[in-house]
Structure 1
Amino acid sequence: MAIKQLLKRTSGWLYLNSPVGRHQLHGAGVILMLHRVLANDRAADLPHRNELCVGPKAFAHLLAWLKKHFDCVPLMEILQPGSVRSERPKVALTFDDGWRDNALNAFPLLKKYQVPASIFLSTDFIGSRQRFWWESLGETLWHSHGEKARAHLIECLQQLGRPLPVLLDDLDVQRRSLALLHFLQSLKSLAPGELNRLTDQCPEESLPQALDWHQVRALEASGLIRFGPHGASHAIFIGLDDQRLDEEISRSRNALHNGCNRPLPVYCYPNGDHDARIREHVADHDFPFALGTAPGIYRGISDPLALPRIGISQRTARNPELLSWRIYRGARP
Structure 2
Amino acid sequence: MSIKHVFKRTGGWLYLNTSLGRHPLRGAGVILMLHRVLSNDRAAELPHRNELCVGPEAFEHLLIWLQRYFECVPLMTLLLADPESVPNRPRVALTFDDGWRDNAMNAFPLLRQYQVPASIFLSTDFIGSRQHFWWESIGETLWGSHGQVARHSLIEHLQHAGRPLPVLLDDIDDERRSLALLHYLQSLKSLDPRTLSDLTEACPQGSQPQALDWPQVRMLEDSGLIRFGPHGASHAILTGLDDQRLHEELTRSWTALENGCAQPLPVYCYPNGDNDARVRQQVAAHGFAFALGTEAGLYRNDGDPLNLPRFGVSQRNAHHPELLAWRIRRGAHP
TM-score (norm 2): 0.98
Structural mapping, 1:40-189, within 5 Å: 40-81=40-81, 85-189=86-190
Q: Give 1:24 shift.
A: 1.6
2:52 equivalent to 1:17 = no
Q: Output one character per residue of 1:44-92: Cα deviation in whole Å (capped at 9) or x when no partner.
A: 0000000000000000000000010000000011100158643310000
Alpha-carbon distance in structure 2 between the residues aligned to 1:248 and 1:90: 32
Separation in 2, partners of 1:318, 1:287: 34
CA distance in 2, matches of 1:21, 1:90: 16
The answer on whether the counterparts of 2:122 and 2:229 sit within 8 Å (CA) in structure 1 is yes
Give, in whole Å, the separation in 2 of the partners of 1:94 and 1:280: 23
Distance 1:45 1:171 in 2: 17
Deviates most, 45-54 or 11-20:
11-20
Maintained 8 Å contact 2:297/2:333: no
d(CA) in 2 for partners of 1:19, 1:332: 16
8 Å contact kept, 2:72–2:91: yes
1:277 is aligned with what amino acid? Answer: R
Q: Contact (CA 8 Å) 2:298, 2:333: kept in 1 or not? A: no
TM score, norm. by length of structure 1: 0.98
Question: Which runs of 5 or more residues in structure 1 are unaligned?
Answer: none
How many Å apart are 1:139 and its aligned residue?
A: 0.5
Give the match for residue 290 of structure 1: 291
Aligned partners of 1:108 and 1:144: how far apart in 2?
27
Which position in structure 1 is the counterpart of 2:213?
212
The amino acid of 2:175's aligned partner reads Q
1:271 matched residue in structure 2: 272
Please name the residue that 1:35 is paired with. 35
Question: Per-residue displacement from partner, 1:168-224 (whole Å, max 9, x unpaired)?
Answer: 110100000001101101111110000000110111111100000000000000000
RMSD: 1.0
Percentage of identical aligned residues: 72
What does the per-residue CA deviation read over 1:220-264, in whole Å, with 9 as the maximum and x for residues that have no partner?
000000000000000001110011001000100111011000100
The equivalent residue for 2:237 is 236
8 Å CA contact 2:299, 2:309 repeated in 1: yes
4+ aligned runs moved over 3 Å, structure 1: 82-85
For the residues of structure 1 that align with 2:45 and 2:7, how far apart are their CA atoms? 22
Amino acid at match of 1:302: G
Contact 1:22-1:88 within 8 A present in 2 as well: no
SS at match of 1:125: coil
